Structure 1
Amino acid sequence: MLKVVRYIPWRQLGYVCLGLLVLVGIGMLMSLVKKKDTAQACVSMKVIVEGKETFIDQHDISDLVNKTFGNVVGKPLKDIPTDRIERALMELPYVSSAEIYADMDGVLQIVVQQREVILRIVNGAGKEYYIDTKGAKVPVTLKYVPHVLVANGNIREGYEKPLDTIRTQLVKDLVTIVEQVKDDPLWSNQIVQLYVDDQQDIEIIPRVGTQPLVLGNAAKLDEKLDRLEIFYKNILPKVGTGAYEKVNVKYDGQIICERRDGWMLDSLQMKLKMNN
């Protein structure tokens, strides 16, 4: 009998027993936590609004929750319809995402991410709306005016309801231009506004100089901006900011400068060799 006992792997057996005790302890602890959660009342509500815009704030979110679902503070956590609250928050046109959860202390945490807008459209009928980074239309509000580029002029696409998608190629081109220049150190500072003329050509209204810069559309945008940079570095310093009525780079390999008396400066209406 003693010989049998001697060969029992006591160390491994001890590890097994210890593991079983840990599992039992964890199970008991989880059951206690679950029981506490079912009985835990909401002691407070904490709202966190994330994002660079300030279309909405903590008070807007808490007011919506309390007015739509009643005062959640004091209610058992299990009775708070978090899924319904999330869906209600996602219906707000300025909200990109929403997450709701309760912590161990009974605090209802509401985390809201705002939409980020990059362009403000004022169409030909005077209707205004924003375009966000996901290509959705966001309504204009007097509460907050973000610092973004404005595009106006002969734009036909309107606004019917929040978060509609873009329909026309023209507005898509306007968004493409904004996305291209918003982080560029030169053009983010030089472009004041975008304008669409009667021929549906997109024009840049510059900060330096009085002449509009005609892009046409967003096709080959890199090349067009390169030619405009040549204009600013090599041509404008020689002729002055008021020499031209309009500068056009919509045609491949050309910079067409129109003087204020209406005739073209032929020496600039040339094909450019970009490698030179």
Structure 2
Amino acid sequence: MLNAVRNIPWRQLGYVCLGLIALVGIGMLMGLVKKKDTAQICASMKVVVEGKETFIDQHDISDLVNTKFGNIVGKPLNEIPIDQIEKALMELPYVSSAEIYTDMDGILQVIVQQREVVLRIVNKVGKEYYIDTKGAKVPVTLKYVPHVLVANGNIREGYEKPLDTIQTQLVTDLVAIVEHVKDDPLWSNQIVQLYVDDKQDIEIIPRVGTQPLIIGSADKLAEKLARLEIFYKNILPKVGADAYEKVNVKYDGQIICERRDGWILDSLQIKLKMK
């Protein structure tokens, strides 16, 4: 009998008992928390709007919630339709995500992430809209004008409803150009506007120089921009800023410069060594 008692693994048995006591304690605590949540009243609503844009603010979100769902503050937490509120916020064209939860103090936390736009389109009939980083169309608002490039001219693609996707290769190319140059120290500063001519060629309107720069499309964009750099560094200083009416780099291996004094074309055949 004494040997049997001695052989009992008391240390392991103690660990098991402590574990059981801890589980019971956690269960009781969870029950108390759940009971508290059921009876707890919403003390306040805190709205956080994240993102670099300011299409909407905290007041817009608070007004929407209170208008569609009544005054949230003072309601029992278990009666607040969190899923429905999130769905309503996601229907706003300027919101990319929404998260709502309640904390231990009874505060309803509302976190909204805004969409980030990269380009403003003004099509051939004057219809305006933005394109965001996910390729969705975002409506223009008078409340806020983001600092992004504008593309106009002979752009046929229109705007039917918020968050429509891009429908044409032309607008896809315009967005691709913006995405390509946004982190480039030279071209992010040099390009002030994009223009689409009657031939559906994309033109860069530069900050330095008076001549539009014809690139055609976003195909082989890096090579085209490299040829334009050659024009600015090696050609423009020699002929002057007003020597050419247009500069065209849409064709492989060429810089075609159209003179202002007539139909004379300077076609410069070049070979680029990409480093």
Question: Which amino acid letter does the alignment assign opposite residue 58 of structure 2?
Answer: Q
1:46/1:109 contact within 8 Å kept: yes
1:215/1:250 contact within 8 Å kept: yes
Residue of structure 2 in register with 1:104 after alignment: 104
Question: Which amino acid letter does the alignment assign opposite residue 140 of structure 1?
Answer: V
1:209/1:241 contact within 8 Å kept: yes
Q: How many angstroms does 1:3 deviate by?
A: 2.6
Within 5 Å, which residues of 2 pair with 1:1-276?
1-266=1-266, 269-275=267-273
Measured in 2, the distance between the counterparts of 1:8 and 1:161 equals 75
Q: How many angstroms does 1:35 deviate by?
A: 0.9
1:55/1:143 contact within 8 Å kept: yes
Q: How many angstroms does 1:7 deviate by?
A: 1.9
TM-score by length of 2: 0.98
1:138/1:162 contact within 8 Å kept: yes
Aligned residue-pair number: 274
Q: Which runs of 5+ in 2 are unaligned?
A: none
How much identity, in percent, do the aligned residues show?
A: 84
Q: How many angstroms does 1:123 deviate by?
A: 0.6
1:256/1:264 contact within 8 Å kept: no
Measured in 1, the distance between the counterparts of 2:264 and 2:217 equals 22
Q: How many angstroms does 1:262 deviate by?
A: 2.3
Task: Give SS of 2:12's match.
Answer: helix
Measured in 1, the distance between the counterparts of 2:238 and 2:111 equals 55
1:96/1:114 contact within 8 Å kept: yes
Question: Which amino acid letter does the alignment assign opposite residue 257 of structure 1?
Answer: C
Q: Deviations over 1:125-164 (max 9, x none)?
A: 0110000000011000010000000000111111111111
Task: Give SS of 2:227's match.
Answer: helix
1:130/1:140 contact within 8 Å kept: yes
Task: Give SS of 1:87's match.
Answer: helix
Measured in 1, the distance between the counterparts of 2:202 and 2:7 equals 89
Moved over 6 A (4+): none
TM-score by length of 1: 0.97
Question: Which amino acid letter does the alignment assign opposite residue 202 of structure 1?
Answer: I
Measured in 2, the distance between the counterparts of 1:232 and 1:8 equals 89
